[in-house]
Amino acid sequence: MSQALTPSDTCVLVTGGAGFIGSHTVVELLTGGYQVVVVDNLSNASAKVEDRIKTIVGSEAAANLTFYIADVNDRNALNKIFDQHHIDRVIHFAGYKAVGESVSKPIEYYSNNIGNTLTLVDVMRNHDCKSIIFSSSATVYGDPESLPLTEVSAKKPATNPYGWTKWMIEEILSDLHAADPEWNVVLLRYFNPIGAHASGLMGEDPKGIPNNLLPYVAQTAIGKREVVHVFGNDYPTPDGTGVRDYIHVVDLATGHAAALQWMNGRTGVEIFNLGTGRGTSVFEIIHAFSEACGHEVPYVIDPRRPGDVAENYADCSKAHELMGWQAQFDISDMCRDAWNWQSHNPNGYEG
Ligand code: UD1
């Protein structure tokens, strides 16, 4: 049975806690009084994140953070962490996330994302820890039949291995609860996380050429890329460009804190969309970012990117009604904070 605990009595293991969404969530948890254990293999994150988190939360809350550089798929390492700490809940972010790369490296994606989840839940079960929040994605909805997307909208076949891993891990965790009703599973389906911490100390730091729109726009604004490539202006949307539900990463982080609070003392499987409920086009993003950085960000129109949908945005009323959570920040806040991060850290965590 999942116990009701106060934050200071709750130890949360955060896998992938040095990554973009993970690091912002760790900050929210520490400021909320939780004890936090991070496990991250730094395969796509910087060792500098730990210090940045500590600087943001201050020394008192920082004392509640333990950081392990280890792979979630390393059963021995994970067992040691669970032996050392009484882990009450897990937030599972660790995984590969580049859509295009997943198409060329399916074995790596399936074995890393699904393999590490299976190792994790097995070690959890062996330590009688059965509460998990999983980092899922709106990608499971595929090409929507109608908008906005609610949690009961149909899951559609994924178009790439990355999407399938999210899709299948949702099923795996639901099956765990079906087999053992003591499991307490929350699936959070993120829409498009952007922005950065307002301090300018943490943000998105993609390796190589960014796949996602926002980091590409930010790197173009700072002069690292020549021009933004707009993937299609002939979609059936108001200005012809793709429409997405962009959400500030700090709002996403508070969504995890709300989910932790909500799942306290429960068992079951619950799904929540985390978005803003508002759609924004690629052109609107470029214009908002140009406002934020004070100069026009150049763009060209390219053909559509295969696999892209015209439009999606969330209905987030379930998260509001059940968890009392809703997004606070708008697109101009998101672009301001992303620009603050990019302009102070032109090369991400490396300087
Ligand atoms: C993408 C993934 C999705 C994943 C999410 C994680 C694809 C098809 N989907 O979502 O599975 O969960 O990232 O953040 O890759 N765009 C441009 N130029 C660019 C980049 C993007 O015009 O250089 C457009 C896209 O066509 C889209 C919008 O910007 O309309 C957002 O794209 P992106 O940031 O890649 O996110 P998604 O495609 O929604």
Which ligand 1 atom sits closest to the C-alpha of 210? Answer: 23
Question: For the packed helices 115-126 and 161-179, what is the interaxial angle rounded to 10 degrees?
Answer: 20
Whether the model clears a pTM of 0.95, i.e. scores above it, the answer is yes
Q: Cα dihedral sign for 145, 151, 152, 158?
A: positive
Domains and CATH numbers, the chain: 10-194+246-276 (3.40.50.720)
Angle at 263 between CA 262 and CA 264, to 5 degrees: 90
* Three-state secondary structure call for residue 203: coil
Contacts of 154 (CB under 8 A, 6+ apart): 141, 145
Going by CA atoms, what residue is nearest to atom 15 of ligand 1?
99
Which ligand 1 atom sits closest to the C-alpha of 217? Answer: 23
* Three-state secondary structure call for residue 332: helix
pLDDT tens across 70-90, in order?
Answer: 999 999 999 999 999 999 999
Once rounded to an integer, what is the mean pLDDT over residues 188-215? 96
Centroid of ligand 1 to alpha carbon of 263 (angstroms): 31
Going by CA atoms, what residue is nearest to atom 34 of ligand 1?
212
Once rounded to an integer, what is the mean pLDDT over residues 225-248? 98
Going by CA atoms, what residue is nearest to atom 13 of ligand 1?
212
What is the pLDDT at residue 104? 96
One-letter amino acid for residue 111 of the chain: S
Check residue 252 and report its DSSP letter: H
pLDDT at 1 over 60: no
* Residue 314 beta carbon below 6 angstroms from any ligand 1 atom: no
Q: How buried is 338 (Cβ within 10 angstroms: 0-12 exposed, 13-18 middle, 19+ buried)?
A: buried
Q: Strand 35-40 and strand 192-194: pairing?
A: unpaired
What is the pLDDT at residue 51? 98
Q: Are 37 and 66 in contact (CB under 8 A)?
A: yes
* Residue 306 beta carbon below 6 angstroms from any ligand 1 atom: no
What is the pLDDT at residue 351? 74
How high is the mean pLDDT of the chain? 97
* Residue 305 beta carbon below 6 angstroms from any ligand 1 atom: yes
- Nearest Cα to Cα of residue 276 among 242, 249, 316: 316
Q: In which band, very low, low, confident or very high, does the pLDDT at 2 lie, cut at 50, 70 and 90? A: low
pLDDT tens across 243-276, in order?
Answer: 999 999 999 999 999 999 999 999 999 999 999 9
Centroid of ligand 1 to alpha carbon of 217 (angstroms): 12
Torsion of CA 317, 10, 268, 140, to 10 degrees: 60
Among residues 34, 109, 141, 162, which one is catalytic? Answer: 162
Q: How buried is 222 (Cβ within 10 angstroms: 0-12 exposed, 13-18 middle, 19+ buried)?
A: middle
Neighbours of 314 (CB within 10 A): 30
* Three-state secondary structure call for residue 321: helix
Q: In which band, very low, low, confident or very high, does the pLDDT at 321 lie, cut at 50, 70 and 90? A: very high
Once rounded to an integer, what is the mean pLDDT over residues 154-171? 97
pLDDT above 70 coverage of the chain, percent = 99
Q: Are 297 and 217 in contact (CB under 8 A)?
A: yes
Q: Are 134 and 185 in contact (CB under 8 A)?
A: yes
Centroid of ligand 1 to alpha carbon of 323 (angstroms): 28
Q: In Å, what is the CA distance from 71 to each residue of 17, 25, 162, 169?
A: 12, 19, 19, 18
Once rounded to an integer, what is the mean pLDDT over residues 85-110? 97
Confirm whether 96 is a catalytic residue.
no
